[in-house]
Amino acid sequence: MSPPGTPDPPLRVAIIGSGPAAFYAAEHLLKSPDRAVRVDMIDRLPTPYGLVRGGVAPDHQKIKSVIAIYEKIAAHPGFRFFGNVEFGKHVTRADLERHVHAIVYASGAQTDKRLGIPGEDLAGSHSATEFVAWYNGHPDFRDRHFDLSVERVAVIGVGNVAVDVARILCLTPEELRATDMADYAIEALSASRVKEVSILGRRGPVQAAFTTVEVKELGGLPGADVVVRPEEAALDALSAAELETARAATKAKVEIVQEFSRRTPAGKPRRLNIRFLVSPHELLGDGGGRVAGLRLAKNRLVKGPTGAVVTEPTGETEELPVGLVFRSVGYRGVPLPDVPFDDRAGLIPNVKGRVLDPATGTPIAGHYATGWIKRGPTGVIGNNKADSAETVNALLADAAAGALPTPARPDPADLETLVRERQPSFVSFADWKRLDRLEVERGQAQGRPRAKFTSVEEMLAALAGN
């Protein structure tokens, strides 16, 4: 039999997840010049787009304009969306193997890295990922509570997520009301009594993970003065040497931080401190199980065994009184049922997207990974395009080589029948477009980009009524 990819039979691919990596994989498959492909995208939530909906900051609407590209991909006749369908619960790996030639896992990195220090689980210590998901109206996080009656907050880490969290905590009620943040979060953040937010970097400004545009924005917030200590912005010899050969963007980033360090606070309602050369060693409790502060160890920078600039404690410590802590030290992948997982790295073991069998170290025919679950939680939305192209090229090469397994029931109607049986309330892309319209209409009435539905029940009720 010839390899699948003629109009009859087309190459059938299931993609797990519907974030950027999933959509770029679908695009690359559907645009394949010499193969007819049908893509079924499966997501646990009724809503597509992964972190574009649930992660990108709600005051950064322009970044969300990539959705227009994803809508075009979804309009391809070979594309179907099965939302509100959980992989491993409603459809399993074995089910999909009966219906498709290949599965692409694009499930992202759904949890956070731990710090591994005492006090991490005190009340008032949260992962940034939880807070981001909460204010973006993710159904699993809408009932979380963050005590915004405290005056001082620490955000551990100086990546772009830490910057997002710190900025969101400093937005004015007017700024909050212009976003598509969940209604409950706008209410809670508008009533916030937070006066001071400190983001904490363990290394120096040259090594900070935040990018230029993101850090620059902190200097123009209407509701908060940005404060950097001159002694922490100053570069040690190692950092100065690193900066000499660094990219222009890194140089610009350091200049911005140093300009902040020369500012005199203008007396805005809040203060946003960007700290460097401090590592949290312990979260301190108030005696009643709540966070009351952080013990920070001051660092100097040294060359590590691999040549990278790493930290060494100076022996000096500092106590920072805070009532709320967000740990923002990176995301981490979670295992999918019946799919290999490298627990140490927090991703699916793979070579160029081909999933590896941990027992043999060789690829498992018909199984692929892309995005953060493939390469780890780094890079911006656009990085997923090349990443997904690499995975899909491997998949198409395997199809051309006749190396994909043949499913027992390749008729697309059969998978839909199965999904209907297992999850009668699955959400198609047409259903999502109706939800989308309703959200936008509700938002327009309030002068906002959209007003999100934040529970699955609410979404299904809205679809039933419209």
Q: Which tokens in the block code for residue 305? A: 């065994």
Subset of residues 43 to 102 that bind ligand NAP, contact rule: CB under 6 A: none
Q: Please list, in sequence order, all residues whose beta carbon lies within 8 angstroms of the beta carbon of residue 179, skipping any fewer than 6 positions away.
A: 58, 59, 61, 171, 186, 448, 449
For ligand NAP, which is the closer residue by CB, 246 or 364?
246
For ligand NAP, which is the closer residue by CB, 46 or 204?
204
Q: Which tokens in the block code for residue 15? A: 């993609």
Q: Which tokens in the block code for residue 21? A: 């990596």
For ligand NAP, which is the closer residue by CB, 83 or 377?
377
Tell me which stretch binds ligand NAP (CB under 6 A): 195-203, 252-260, 262-270, 441-449.
195-203
Q: Does 158 bind ligand NAP (CB under 6 A)?
A: yes
Q: CB nearest ligand NAP: which residue?
A: 159
Distance of CA 456 to the CA centre of its chain: 20
CB of 107 to ligand NAP, least distance (A): 16
Q: Does 159 bind ligand NAP (CB under 6 A)?
A: yes
Q: Which tokens in the block code for residue 93? A: 């790996």
SS3 call for 360: coil
Q: Which single residue is written with the structure tokens 């160890």? A: 297
Q: Which tokens in the block code for residue 223? A: 């509701």
CB of 289 to ligand NAP, least distance (A): 23
Q: Applying CB under 6 A, which of residues 110, 127, 179, 207 lies at the interface with ligand NAP?
A: 207
Tell me which stretch binds ligand NAP (CB under 6 A): 156-164, 342-350, 392-400, 424-432.
156-164
Q: Applying CB under 6 A, which of residues 25, 115, 238, 373 lies at the interface with ligand NAP?
A: 115
For ligand NAP, which is the closer residue by CB, 40 or 390?
390
Smallest CA-to-CA distance from 309 within 409, 237, 405 is with 237
Backbone phi, psi, residue 47, to 5°: -105, 135
For ligand NAP, which is the closer residue by CB, 13 or 278?
278
- Work out the widest C-alpha separation in the chain, in whole angstroms: 75
Q: Are 126 and 145 in contact (CB under 8 A)?
A: no
Q: Applying CB under 6 A, which of residues 12, 28, 64, 203 lies at the interface with ligand NAP?
A: 203
Subset of residues 347 to 406 that bind ligand NAP, contact rule: CB under 6 A: 377-380
Q: Applying CB under 6 A, which of residues 156, 348, 369, 451 lies at the interface with ligand NAP?
A: 156
Q: Applying CB under 6 A, which of residues 90, 167, 202, 448 lies at the interface with ligand NAP?
A: 202
Q: Are 132 and 55 in contact (CB under 8 A)?
A: yes
CB of 263 to ligand NAP, least distance (A): 22
Neighbours of 322 (CB within 10 A): 24
For ligand NAP, which is the closer residue by CB, 12 or 275?
275
> How does strand 354-356 pair with strand 350-351?
antiparallel
Helix (H) or strand (E) holding 105: strand 102-105
Subset of residues 330 to 349 that bind ligand NAP, contact rule: CB under 6 A: 330-331
Q: Applying CB under 6 A, which of residues 169, 329, 347, 404 lies at the interface with ligand NAP?
A: 329
Smallest CA-to-CA distance from 66 within 82, 80, 50, 46 is with 50
For ligand NAP, which is the closer residue by CB, 135 or 426?
135
Q: Applying CB under 6 A, which of residues 279, 299, 388, 454 lies at the interface with ligand NAP?
A: 279
Q: Does 232 bind ligand NAP (CB under 6 A)?
A: no
CB of 210 to ligand NAP, least distance (A): 7
Q: Does 155 bind ligand NAP (CB under 6 A)?
A: no
Q: HSE, CB side, 13 Å, CA atoms: give it for residue 219.
A: 17
Q: Applying CB under 6 A, which of residues 32, 61, 160, 258 lies at the interface with ligand NAP?
A: 160
Dihedral sign of CA atoms 211, 214, 219, 224 in order: negative
Q: Could you say which DSSP state residue 398 is in?
A: H
For ligand NAP, which is the closer residue by CB, 162 or 355?
162
User: Residue 429 region, left (φ>0) first, then alpha (ψ -120 to 50), else beta?
Assistant: alpha
Residue 166 and residue 198: Cα distance in Å, rounded? 8
CB of 133 to ligand NAP, least distance (A): 13
* Site residues (vs ligand NAP, CB under 6 A): 115, 156-162, 164, 201-203, 207, 209, 214, 279, 328-331, 377-380
